[in-house]
Amino acid sequence: MRHGRLKAARKTLDFFRLASGITPPYNVLLDGTFLVAIISQKLPLHERLDRLLQRKRFIINITRSTLDELKTLMEKIPEKKELFRQSRQWGLDHCDNILEECDIPTDEEKYDDDNLLSKAGKEMISIIRAQATYFVCSQDEKVLSIVRFMGTSPVMRISRGILLLENPSKASTRMVNRQERKKWSVAGSIQEQETKLIDCAKETQKKKYQQQQQQYTAPSYNNNNGRYHKAKGPNPLSCKKKKRDDDVTTDTKKRKRRRKGEKVVES
């Protein structure tokens, strides 16, 4: 992994640590599309996660509905049966925690975007809404767009065989800016002593500036140092020389221009 990608991942981890309180051990939540991408692109997920998460401990989670979804796809699409079977088996073998349906919180409110998702996608979104401490790993753009719009959880995806941790979305930065404004707008956040210190510092700076203005004296150019002196006369090099009468010849003849093909007639 390149140094620039690791540096960007470190910044993203620090951002969500301060914004959402995401700290090690990190909870990583996978869906079916991500498992299929792991198998098809032969990605060593544990090794890549270890480097991307700065050698910190992590826990891989998956929902039971995701495994059931892969099982149904094995029956619906027989030509890709082996791919779905390996993806499901990878989830059973390598995932540390399988979230059952009873462990998933239910949303009392219904959202229009949830109608576009499958059962596994709805459960993933409901988990993130209830507890925004998961890294969402998915290849489904519908799921990723909802998570980016929420702005509370980091997003991971696979692109050309590379595991990427996306930078904070615009919704995430807006959420953090909103939180900072609330901190400063709370009554009593700035104490009276702090305001007095600020006013005192401003007054001392103003007095210091006034003293500097009074002590300042404009430079005088009356000294004979050769600068800013008045010109005594025109520059002789820039003046045109006068012609003398001796140089003017009266017997000069003008030469006529001759075109090509014309014969010279002697007079």
pLDDT along the chain (267 residues), means of 10: 80 90 93 94 93 93 93 92 94 92 67 70 87 90 91 92 92 85 62 77 88 72 58 79 63 64 58
How far apart (Å, rounded) are the C-alpha atoms in residues 34 and 155?
Answer: 12
* Token pair of 26 as six digits: 């990190």
Sheet holding 162-165, edge to edge: 97-99, 58-63, 26-30, 134-137, 155-159, 162-165
Instruction: Give the number of other CB atoms < 10 A from CB of residue 43.
Output: 16
Residue 129 pLDDT = 86
Is the Cα torsion angle 181, 183, 188, 190 positive or negative in sign? Answer: negative
pTM for the model: 0.64
C-alpha distances (whole Å) from 222 to each of 114, 205, 218, 228 are: 84, 34, 12, 9
pLDDT for the residue numbered 110 = 55
As a whole number of angstroms, the distance between CA 191 and CA 113 comes to 45
Q: Which of 61, 50, 37 is nearest to 9 (CA)?
A: 50
The region that residue 70 occupies, defined by phi over 0 for left and psi between -120 and 50 for alpha, beta otherwise, is: alpha
pLDDT of residue 144: 92
Helix 64-76 with 32-41: angle, nearest 10 deg: 60
Residue with tokens 């390598």: 94
Q: Which helix (H) or strand (E) holds 96?
A: none
pLDDT at residue 107, rounded to an integer: 63
The pLDDT value recorded for residue 103 is 73
**Joined tokens for residue 91:** 């989830």
Residues 266 and 162: their CA atoms lie apart, in Å, by 95
Amino acid at 201: A
Q: Could you tell me the maximum CA-CA distance found in the chain, to the nearest angstrom?
A: 126
